[in-house]
Amino acid sequence: MVNRFEAIMSRVEQNPDKKRCAVVCADGPTREAVREAETRGLIQAEFFSGDLAPMEAVRGVHAGQFDILLKGNIDTAVLLKEVVNKEYGLLTGRLISHVALLDVPRYHKLLLLTDGGMVMYPDLDQLRGILENAAGVMRRLGVELPKVACLAAVEKVHERMPETVRAAALKELQQTGEIRDCLVEGPISFDLAFDREAGRTKGYDSPVAGDADVFLVPDFVSGNLLAKSLVYGGGARFAGFLAGARAPVILTSRASSAEEKLYSIACSALVSSLSN
């Protein structure tokens, strides 16, 4: 199987402007990933350790000394407390959300799943922010007009299923021009967004059917379960980071492999280079 993350790493390798990465409380897999990233010319890293490491690293990113923030063996809540600090944190006025990039063997391209790691139960305004963050990431990765699937269990709007109402509202916002530079479909079930044949069988006519770039889930729980199902059950390769902050923030689990951390570094470096 072709590793689609290799193409991203190759693009970063060719960029002479190497991004600087602040690494907080690195453990073994994190150090392994950083060493490989430096060997391949993806980043230049500096390690922070000790009780003040989260604050010092975030201050460095805030000051422009670093372009990426990478979490090691530290509780996520501890690092996020510094990220959202109003004095020296990484807030921009935009919603901060998590994006997961997945290389799924049965899918024909890299897909983005959001938000299964940050915003727990988003309302419509928050979903819009999550969608716009995700579409922006995909454009920086080279997708000119990202196709967004607003996922639900069914394709029709039901008042007793609020996720279908919000999905239809997001589609309308795109159609009226309030959401731009992407194509939004919803509500749409996962099978129709993922599989062209399923769409043809059900007679679902949409350019997003079977060709979605962004899979927008209705809440944190469904996103987390879907991402882990694709990784552990579907053999997907994974990368993830926070979007909407001053710089990409990599919050892979402490159980994540060095490979996942390496892919996350590469994707963050590419997004960072194209954001400046």
**CATH number for 6:** 3.40.50.10950
- Do 106 and 165 share a domain, yes or no? yes
What pLDDT was estimated at residue 31? 96
What pLDDT was estimated at residue 256? 87
- Do 106 and 163 share a domain, yes or no? yes
Domain encompassing residue 199: 95-243
- Do 218 and 114 share a domain, yes or no? yes
What pLDDT was estimated at residue 269? 96
Question: What's the angle, vertex CA 28, arms to CA 23 and CA 33, rounded to 5?
Answer: 60
Could you tell me if 90 and 101 are in contact, meaning their C-beta atoms sit under 8 angstroms apart?
A: no
Kindly report the CATH number assigned to the domain that includes residue 228: 3.40.718.10
Question: Phi-psi category of 115—alpha, beta or left, where left has phi over 0 and alpha has psi -120 to 50?
Answer: beta
- Do 117 and 138 share a domain, yes or no? yes
What pLDDT was estimated at residue 191? 96
Number of domains in the chain: 2
What pLDDT was estimated at residue 59? 98
What pLDDT was estimated at residue 276? 55
- Cα–Cα distance, 117 to 114 (Å, whole number): 8
Q: What parts of the chain have a pLDDT lower than 50?
A: none
What pLDDT was estimated at residue 159? 93
- Do 226 and 249 share a domain, yes or no? no
* Nearest of 114, 240, 246 to residue 182 by alpha carbon: 114
